[in-house]
């Protein structure tokens, strides 16, 4: 009798599972077709000599060796880390600050929230083109006109090696900071108000409340956003591609742009392009693993 | 009496109708049996000028009359190498599209385009191709994969207003333009000093810089044994960026920035379109550009045609060379024989084949009228066809719609017709990659004052040689 019950229960669970699987099936098929298969195909392609998108012959790691041995790869790798570095310097704290300021605003909060998010609603390419007029080194460049009024001579911003990456990060931050700030604001809204009240009763100042209550409360959220930011910035491509075309002299060339150049920049070498893509994926996997490791450790300590 | 007149009139009308009908049919329907569909890339977008859209609708209507069973499918597709390859491999490329002359050999070698030799033969135009174009559009077996849309020769666009401001005018009121690369540097310097604007806009981004630099290099002697790339006795392609001629040409580029300071400020981010924009809006006085893009600074950027001139490419110490290139029509790799015929018929209606009839002449007239209406310079075209009758008829129509003082263009066209300039096609193999390597060197030269020319060229040479070995030498 009990055996029959178990079988009935098992059948019911199976039917339940089947329903769940059926619900997931379209998503799984689409993911397999559009994400996993191309991903695995890209790994396979990186191991072959290619003729446009056809695989000619297996060449092992030759594509990787050839790509890594080139100066432009090393330059692109260094640039990509530089993008990440500058994005942390310029772009990591700003959304937190924005969220804090908007959160503390009493009147017109919705206006400031919308205003901060507005750049994110603009198409990415339009933003780049807009800012390219601002940073144009020609006499007609907006920044040159503004600085010219102050008596500062005409400058060429996008042809300076040391300026080009920070400028691109300033533009990306201008576009993306509002959206990230909204996420922080949602996180901050979840902080128990009793903690603030208790701190206020104890005589804590605004900054003490921020540093001792608010920031620790959003630390995990910040950690997650940090790794997402690193992953996103590591794949930066269209910003330098449109603004500087990777120049001057590859000073703003990113790894993803290098990948694009191998595939579509005239050489159609999809094998080497795939090799670059695999390298980028591996680097991001390592970085994510490091983050997860420290995150777990921190949870253990908590 | 009235009845007699009515009978005679009716008889006459019937006779006329009977006699005229076969003629009218012959003029209208050319092939009712040809049945297929063709997808036409580069169809004018909804945002295109009304005149242009009407023109293409007219072509479509004519095609429908002449080939009633050929279905035309307009497609807004605009070719780039990156978007074309997946479409060609996936079988979704438009039947006809328009790549620049830098790409046909690459596309042909990768089996990404369709063969139209038989269709061309059927139309009797195979032998009218200019031989240099046949060379660009055929494989090693002589099979043809494309047709020239238009040819161009690289020269220089001039903003006369800035020349006037700098006092560089002749007594006849014409711009005193540079005839040599040395004069280009000197005149550019005068313009920069007198007007504060760039003497020369040089698009040194992506592949544009290298593309223009090859012209300068040829004029410094990078031809023949000193060519930028050549095939050695064993048939191996060799990159040669470190010849004394190429080094001298690159030193010249460096001097344009650091000695004469005539380049536009953002040269490393300037592309083809923004170069035209800077010239058209009076931010630069000179731009290396061709006869096929005279509408860019004028019609699109508002430079009045009377303030615009087209001059020959300045000569160097080793001669006067200029690039001859253009845009071509190519075809999807999976086109059928019938589609090939239909595509040639469509190109014939567009006036792109060397045929003359009333419809084609009307099409040409509409084309030049539209050009004049939108404020572009209407100037002679460099024909890709060796057909005197066709070329003369085309010239007559151009003369009719001309809106410019030809004294501002004559030296350019005379240099070609009189042979005082040597026309060259692009570097033979993997030109885009070669340009990319050279652009990187140019960017280094114009952004780092003390950059070592030879060292940078050596590095680029090694990189491009590795590419050649990998792609074509199969080492």
Residues B259-300 have pLDDT tens digits of: 999 999 999 999 999 999 999 999 999 999 999 889 899 988
Same domain assignment for residues A247 and A209: yes
Same domain assignment for residues B341 and B378: yes
Residues on chain A touching B285 (C-beta within 8 angstroms): none
Same domain assignment for residues B311 and B411: yes
Instruction: Determine the Cα–Cα distance for residues B51 and B43; give it in Å rounded to an integer.
Output: 13
Residues of chain B with pLDDT under 50: 1, 4-5, 7-26
Q: For residue B241, is it within any domain?
A: yes
Q: For residue A51, is it within any domain?
A: no
Same domain assignment for residues B285 and B430: yes
Q: Do B268 and A266 count as a contact with CB atoms less than 8 A apart?
A: no
- Give how many domains chain A has, as a whole number: 2
Mean pLDDT of chain A: 88
Q: Identify from B262, B269, B275 which residue to disrupt to test chain A contact, counting A C-beta atoms within 10 A and taking the largest count.
A: B269
Q: For residue A59, is it within any domain?
A: no
Q: Does B82 touch chain A (CB under 8 A)?
A: yes
Q: Which of B106, B278, B446 sits opposite A138 (nearest CB)?
A: B278
Q: Does A60 touch chain B (CB under 8 A)?
A: no
Q: What's the gap between Cα A43 and its chain centre?
A: 22
Q: For residue A233, is it within any domain?
A: yes
Q: What's the gap between Cα A104 and its chain centre?
A: 27
Domain range enclosing B141: 31-151+325-401
Q: For residue A184, is it within any domain?
A: yes
Q: What is the pLDDT of residue B105?
A: 80
Same domain assignment for residues A36 and A69: no
Q: What tokens appear for A58 in the block?
A: 């297996």
Q: For residue B279, is it within any domain?
A: yes
Q: What is the ipTM of this complex?
A: 0.76
Q: For residue B2, is it within any domain?
A: no
Residues on chain B touching A141 (C-beta within 8 angstroms): 265
Q: Which of B81, B89, B196 sits opposite A53 (nearest CB)?
A: B89
For helices A219-234 and A161-189, angle between their N-to-C axes, nearest 10 degrees: 150
Start-to-end CA distance of chain B, whole Å, equals 96
Q: For residue A198, is it within any domain?
A: yes
- Say if residues A83 and A236 touch (Cβ distance below 8 Å): yes
For helices B358-373 and B388-401, angle between their N-to-C axes, nearest 10 degrees: 40
Contacts of B114 (CB under 8 A, 6+ apart): B145, B330, B331, B332, B333, B334, B335, B340
Instruction: Determine the Cα–Cα distance for residues B72 and B442; give it in Å rounded to an integer.
Output: 45
Question: Of B401, B434, B457, which closes a domain?
Answer: B401
Same domain assignment for residues A38 and A89: no
Q: Locate the chain B residue with the closest alpha carbon to A69.
A: B463
- Residue A88 falls in which region: left (phi positive, over 0), alpha (psi -120 to 50) or beta: alpha
Q: For residue B18, is it within any domain?
A: no
Considering only residues 169 to 228 of chain B, which have any Cβ-Cβ distance to chain A shorter than 8 Å?
Answer: 196-198, 204-207
Residues on chain A touching B86 (C-beta within 8 angstroms): 53
Q: Which of A66, A138, A247 sits opposite B283 (nearest CB)?
A: A138
Q: Does B85 touch chain A (CB under 8 A)?
A: yes
Q: For residue B388, is it within any domain?
A: yes
Q: How far does the CA of residue B82 sit from the closest CA of chain A (Å)? A: 5
Q: Does A286 touch chain B (CB under 8 A)?
A: no
Same domain assignment for residues A38 and A68: no
Same domain assignment for residues A162 and A19: no
Instruction: State the burial class of residue A12 (Cβ atoms within 10 Å of its Cβ: 0-12, 13-18, 19+).
Output: exposed
Same domain assignment for residues A25 and A169: no
Domain range enclosing A26: 2-45
CB pairs under 8 A between A and B: 108
Same domain assignment for residues A40 and A105: no
Residues on chain B touching A79 (C-beta within 8 angstroms): none
Contacts of B361 (CB under 8 A, 6+ apart): B393, B397
Instruction: Determine the Cα–Cα distance for residues A273 and A109; give it in Å rounded to an integer.
Output: 46
Q: Does B432 touch chain A (CB under 8 A)?
A: yes
Residue B319 exposure: Cα atoms within 13 Å on the Cβ side: 16
The SS3 assignment for A237 reads coil
Q: What tokens appear for A149 in the block?
A: 């009024």
Q: For residue B128, is it within any domain?
A: yes
Same domain assignment for residues B224 and B366: no
Q: How far does the CA of residue B257 sit from the closest CA of chain A (Å)? A: 13
What is the domain-level CATH number for residue A185?
Answer: 1.10.3720.10
Residues on chain A touching B265 (C-beta within 8 angstroms): 136-139, 141, 154, 156, 159
Cα Rg for chain B, rounded, in angstroms? Answer: 25
Q: For residue A55, is it within any domain?
A: no
Calculate mean pLDDT across residues A231-244: 91
Same domain assignment for residues A94 and A225: yes
Same domain assignment for residues A211 and A255: yes
What is the domain-level CATH number for residue B98?
Answer: 3.40.190.10
Q: What tokens appear for B412 in the block?
A: 């350019």
Question: Of B374, B401, B428, which closes a domain?
Answer: B401
Same domain assignment for residues B105 and B182: no
Q: Which of A245, A266, A268 sits opposite B269 (nearest CB)?
A: A245
pTM of the predicted model over 0.90: no
Q: For residue A58, is it within any domain?
A: no
- Say if residues B119 and B341 touch (Cβ distance below 8 Å): yes
Q: Locate the chain B residue with the closest alpha carbon to A54.
A: B89
Residues on chain B touching A45 (C-beta within 8 angstroms): none
Q: What is the pLDDT of residue B417?
A: 78
Q: Which residues pair with B322 in a beta bridge?
A: B423
Q: Which of B266, B430, B446 sits opposite A138 (nearest CB)?
A: B266
Same domain assignment for residues A250 and A192: yes
Same domain assignment for residues B272 and B410: yes
Same domain assignment for residues B330 and B320: no
Same domain assignment for residues A14 and A163: no
Instruction: Determine the Cα–Cα distance for residues A9 and B93; give it in Å rounded to an integer.
Output: 55
Q: What tokens appear for B375 in the block?
A: 């404020």
Q: Do B433 and A266 count as a contact with CB atoms less than 8 A apart?
A: yes
Same domain assignment for residues B459 and B320: yes
Same domain assignment for residues A69 and A19: no
Q: Is the pLDDT of residue A199 over 60?
A: yes
Q: How far does the CA of residue A92 sit from the closest CA of chain B (Å)? A: 28
Q: What would the pLDDT profile of A101-160 be if each residue is shown by its tens digit?
A: 888 787 888 898 888 899 999 998 899 999 999 999 888 899 999 999 999 988 889 989
Same domain assignment for residues B256 and B352: no
Residues on chain B touching A268 (C-beta within 8 angstroms): 81, 85, 106, 110
Angle at alpha carbon of residue B440, lines to B434 and B446, rounded to 5°:
130
Q: What is the pLDDT of residue B50?
A: 83
Is the C-alpha dihedral spanning A76, A77, A82, A85 positive or negative? positive
Same domain assignment for residues B432 and B285: yes
- Give how many domains chain B has, as a whole number: 2
Q: For residue B464, is it within any domain?
A: yes
What's A65's DSSP letter? H
Q: Which of A71, A136, A264 sits opposite B459 (nearest CB)?
A: A71
3-class secondary structure for chain B? CHHHHHHHHHHHHHHHHHHHHHHHHHHHCCCCCCCEEEEECCCCCCCCCHHHHHHHHHHHHHHHHHCCCEEEEECCCCCCHHHHHHHHHHCCCCCEECCECCCHHHHHHCCCCCCCHHHHHHCCCHHHECHHHHHHHECCCCCECEEEEEEEEEEEEEEHHHHHHCCCECCCCCECCCCEHHHHHHHHHHHHHHHCCEEEECCCCCCHHHHHHHHHHHHCCCCHHHCCEEECCCCCEEECCCCHHHHHHHHHHHHHHHCCCCECCCHHHCCHHHHHHHHHCCCEEEEEEEHHHCCHHHHHCCCCHHHEEEEECCEECCECEEEEEEEEEEECCCCCHHHHHHHHHHHHHCCCCCCCCHHHHHHHHHHHHHHHHCCCCCCCCCCCECCHHHHHHHHHHHHHHCCCCHHHCHHHHHHHHCCCCEEECCCCCCHHHHHHHHHHHHHHHHHCCCCCHHHHHHHHHHHHHHHHHHHHHCC
Q: Does B265 touch chain A (CB under 8 A)?
A: yes
Considering only residues 324 to 363 of chain B, which have any Cβ-Cβ distance to chain A shorter than 8 Å?
Answer: none
Q: Do B196 and A139 count as a contact with CB atoms less than 8 A apart?
A: yes
The SS3 assignment for A141 reads coil
Q: Does B455 touch chain A (CB under 8 A)?
A: no
Question: Of B401, B418, B447, which closes a domain?
Answer: B401
Cis before A248? omega within 30: yes
Instruction: Determine the Cα–Cα distance for residues A121 and A123; give it in Å rounded to an integer.
Output: 6
Q: How far does the CA of residue A221 sit from the closest CA of chain B (Å)? A: 38
Instruction: Determine the Cα–Cα distance for residues B70 and B156; give it in Å rounded to an integer.
Output: 43
What's A57's DSSP letter? E
Mean pLDDT of chain B: 88
Q: What is the pLDDT of residue A167?
A: 96
Q: For residue B85, is it within any domain?
A: yes
Same domain assignment for residues B103 and B163: no
Same domain assignment for residues B297 and B178: yes
């Amino acid at each position: 009798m009990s055996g029959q019950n178990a079988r009935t229960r098992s059948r019911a669970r199976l039917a339940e599972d089947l329903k769940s699987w059926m619900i997931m099936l379209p998503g799984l098929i689409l993911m397999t077709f559009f994400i996993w298969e191309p991903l695995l195909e890209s790994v396979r392609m990186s191991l072959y000599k290619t003729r446009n998108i056809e695989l000619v012959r297996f060449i092992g790691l030759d594509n990787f060796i050839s790509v890594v041995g080139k100066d432009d790869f090393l330059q692109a790798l260094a640039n990509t880390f530089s993008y990440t570095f500058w994005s942390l310097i310029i772009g990591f704290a700003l959304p937190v600050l924005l969220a804090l300021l908007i959160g503390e605003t009493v009147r017109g909060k919705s206006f400031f929230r919308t205003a901060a998010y507005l750049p994110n609603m603009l198409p990415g390419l339009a933003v780049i083109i807009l800012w390219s007029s601002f940073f144009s080194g020609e006499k007609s460049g907006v920044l040159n006109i503004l600085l010219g009024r102050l008596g500062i001579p005409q400058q060429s911003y996008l042809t300076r090696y040391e300026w080009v990456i920070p400028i691109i990060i300033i533009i990306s931050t201008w576009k993306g900071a509002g959206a990230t700030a909204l996420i922080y604001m949602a996180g901050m809204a979840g902080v128990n108000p009793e903690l603030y009240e208790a701190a206020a009763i104890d005589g804590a100042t605004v900054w003490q409340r921020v540093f001792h209550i608010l920031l620790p409360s959003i630390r995990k959220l910040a950690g997650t956003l940090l790794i997402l930011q690193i992953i996103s910035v590591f794949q930066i491509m269209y910003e330098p591609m449109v603004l500087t075309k990777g120049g001057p002299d590859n000073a703003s060339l990113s790894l993803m742009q290098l990948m694009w150049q191998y595939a579509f920049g005239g050489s159609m070498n999809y094998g080497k392009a795939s090799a670059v893509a695999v390298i980028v994926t591996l680097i991001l996997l390592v970085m994510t693993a490091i983050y997860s490791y420290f995150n777990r450790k921190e949870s253990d300590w908590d | 009496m009235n009845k007699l007149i009515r009978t005679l009139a009716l008889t006459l009308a019937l006779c006329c109708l009977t006699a005229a009908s076969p003629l009218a049919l012959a003029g209208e329907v050319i092939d009712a049996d040809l049945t297929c569909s063709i997808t036409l890339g580069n169809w004018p977008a909804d945002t295109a000028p009304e005149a242009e859209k009407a023109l293409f609708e007219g072509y479509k209507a004519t095609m429908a009359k002449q080939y009633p069973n050929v279905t035309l499918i307009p497609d807004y597709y605009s070719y780039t190498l990156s978007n074309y390859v997946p479409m060609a491999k996936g079988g979704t490329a438009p039947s006809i599209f328009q790549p620049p002359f830098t790409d046909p050999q690459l596309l042909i070698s990768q089996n990404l385009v369709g063969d139209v030799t038989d269709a061309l033969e059927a139309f009797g135009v195979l032998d009218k191709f200019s031989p240099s174009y046949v060379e660009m559009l055929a494989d090693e077996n002589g099979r043809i994969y494309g047709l020239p849309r238009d040819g161009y020769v690289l020269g220089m666009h001039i903003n006369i207003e800035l020349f006037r401001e700098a006092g560089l005018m002749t007594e006849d009121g014409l711009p005193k333009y540079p005839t040599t690369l040395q004069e280009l540097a000197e005149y550019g310097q005068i313009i920069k000093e007198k007007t504060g604007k760039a003497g020369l806009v040089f698009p040194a981004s992506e592949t544009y810089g290298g593309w223009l630099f090859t012209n300068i290099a040829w004029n410094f002697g990078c031809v023949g044994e000193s060519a930028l790339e050549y095939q050695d006795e064993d048939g191996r392609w060799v990159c040669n960026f470190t010849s004394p001629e190429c080094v001298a040409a690159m030193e010249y580029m460096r001097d344009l920035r650091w000695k004469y300071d005539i380049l536009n400020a953002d040269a490393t981010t300037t592309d083809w379109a923004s170069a035209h924009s800077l010239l058209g809006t009076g931010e630069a006085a000179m731009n290396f550009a061709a006869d096929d893009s005279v509408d860019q600074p004028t019609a699109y950027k508002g430079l009045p045609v009377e303030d615009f001139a087209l001059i020959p490419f300045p000569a160097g110490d080793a001669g006067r060379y200029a690039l001859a290139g253009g845009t071509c029509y190519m075809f999807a790799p999976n086109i059928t024989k019938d589609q090939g015929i239909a595509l040639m018929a469509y190109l014939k209606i567009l006036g792109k084949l060397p045929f003359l009839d009333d419809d084609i002449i009307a099409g040409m007239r509409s084309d030049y009228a539209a050009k004049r209406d939108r404020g572009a310079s209407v100037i002679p075209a460099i024909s890709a066809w060796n057909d005197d009758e066709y070329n003369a008829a085309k010239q007559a129509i151009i003369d009719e719609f001309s809106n410019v003082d030809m004294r501002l263009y004559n030296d350019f066209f005379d240099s070609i017709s009189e042979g005082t300039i040597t026309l060259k096609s692009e570097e033979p193999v993997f030109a885009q990659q070669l340009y990319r390597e050279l652009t990187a060197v140019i960017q280094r030269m114009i952004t780092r004052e003390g950059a070592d020319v030879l060292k940078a060229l050596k590095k680029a040479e090694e990189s491009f040689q590795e590419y050649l070995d990998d792609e074509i030498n199969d080492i």
